[in-house]
């Protein structure tokens, strides 16, 4: 096996049979990514809040139901294509795809790239419903960095090193958007989402699995990704873990405080 790996984007002029929009340099990728992120942040932090300042919140029940159902279906599709790829080529891929084989890999990266951009609508719906408490640093950081990751992956360095990452993350999104979809049906359906409290735990487990896979993929692959990109990915996942862990403990403390207040109120009623 040829263990060398041609980074097709290092020499744009010599690339053949590759769509030019899929062979960007790092500088080209950075410019495109900057435009997308600035547009997103301006819309959700400036334009839409100004638009909603004098308006009542939109309910968007039907829109949210359709949106979340489509997100579940799309995430199931992503799980399917990445599970199929993993079953064919293994958990740790050592193929170093090139030419038509690489183009096939690019075609399977595109759906994930699209998914991370569709996810940005989450924030738009929060703002339109005036759920400002949901537009947190964690929320914005997660969405912007995932978009950054997929831009670097597809536009700068497409590879099959992230197949397992895509599978795990897409599976978590199946659960997450299923929860959002059922919640959008109203309080009568709350009994069907008893597993809400386990979602953050599942996400934390996801990050541990992803970091483990990235480590061994980089270590054992004959065509590892560039060092800066690898450590960038590890940094993102570790920061997600830290932020979600912080959210987990904050939620736990809030729940414990509410339970303690409820117990005090019950004791007070019994005393009276």
User: 5 lies in a domain?
Assistant: no
Looking at residue 263, its pLDDT comes to 60
The residue annotated as part of the active site, out of 89, 139, 142, 215, is: 142
User: 7 lies in a domain?
Assistant: no
User: 83 lies in a domain?
Assistant: yes
Looking at residue 192, its pLDDT comes to 81
Q: For the chain, what's the residue count? A: 272
User: 2 lies in a domain?
Assistant: no
CB of 229 closer than 8 Å to CB of 159: no
* Domain count across the chain: 1
Looking at residue 15, its pLDDT comes to 35
Looking at residue 66, its pLDDT comes to 95
User: 236 lies in a domain?
Assistant: yes
Q: How many alpha carbons lie under 13 Å from residue 235 in its C-beta half-sphere? A: 10
Structural domain span for residue 51: 12-271
Residue-level pLDDT, tens digit, the chain, 272 residues: 444 334 433 433 333 344 444 557 788 888 999 999 999 999 999 999 999 999 999 999 999 999 999 999 999 999 999 999 999 999 998 888 888 888 889 999 999 999 999 999 999 999 999 999 999 999 999 999 999 999 999 988 888 999 999 999 999 999 999 999 898 888 888 778 887 778 888 999 999 999 999 999 999 988 888 888 999 999 999 999 999 998 888 876 666 666 656 566 655 555 55
Q: What is the pTM of this model?
A: 0.83
Task: Give me the phi and psi of 41, to 5 degrees please.
Answer: -70, -35
User: 180 lies in a domain?
Assistant: yes
- From the list 155, 162, 141, the residue with the least C-alpha distance to 234 is 162
Q: Is position 139 annotated as part of the catalytic site?
A: no
Looking at residue 9, its pLDDT comes to 37
CB of 229 closer than 8 Å to CB of 157: yes
CB of 229 closer than 8 Å to CB of 152: yes
Looking at residue 5, its pLDDT comes to 38
Looking at residue 259, its pLDDT comes to 63
């Amino acid at each position: 096996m040829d263990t060398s790996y041609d980074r097709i984007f290092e020499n744009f002029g010599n690339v053949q049979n590759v769509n030019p929009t899929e062979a960007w340099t790092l500088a080209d990728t950075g410019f495109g990514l900057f435009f997308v992120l600035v547009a997103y942040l301006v819309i959700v932090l400036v334009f839409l809040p100004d638009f909603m300042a004098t308006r009542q919140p939109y309910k968007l029940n039907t829109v949210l139901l359709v949106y979340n159902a489509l997100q579940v279906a799309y995430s199931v599709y992503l799980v399917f294509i990445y599970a199929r790829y993993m079953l064919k080529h293994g958990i740790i891929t050592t193929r170093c795809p090139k030419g038509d084989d690489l183009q096939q890999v690019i075609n399977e990266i595109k759906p994930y790239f699209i998914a991370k951009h569709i996810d940005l609508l989450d924030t738009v719906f929060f703002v339109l419903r005036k759920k400002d408490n949901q537009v947190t640093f964690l929320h914005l950081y997660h969405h912007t960095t995932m978009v950054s990751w997929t831009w670097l992956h597809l536009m700068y360095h497409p590879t099959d090193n992230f197949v397992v990452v895509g599978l795990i993350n897409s599976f978590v999104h199946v659960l997450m958007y299923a929860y959002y979809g059922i919640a959008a049906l109203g309080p009568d359906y709350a009994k069907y989402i008893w597993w809400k409290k386990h979602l953050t735990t599942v996400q934390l487990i996801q990050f541990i699995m992803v970091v483990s896979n990235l480590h061994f993929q980089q270590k054992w692959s004959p065509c590892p990704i560039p060092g800066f990109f690898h450590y960038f990915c590890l940094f993102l996942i570790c920061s997600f873990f830290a932020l979600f862990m912080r959210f987990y403990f904050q939620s736990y403390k809030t729940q414990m405080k509410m339970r303690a207040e409820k117990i005090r109120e019950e004791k007070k009623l019994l005393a009276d």
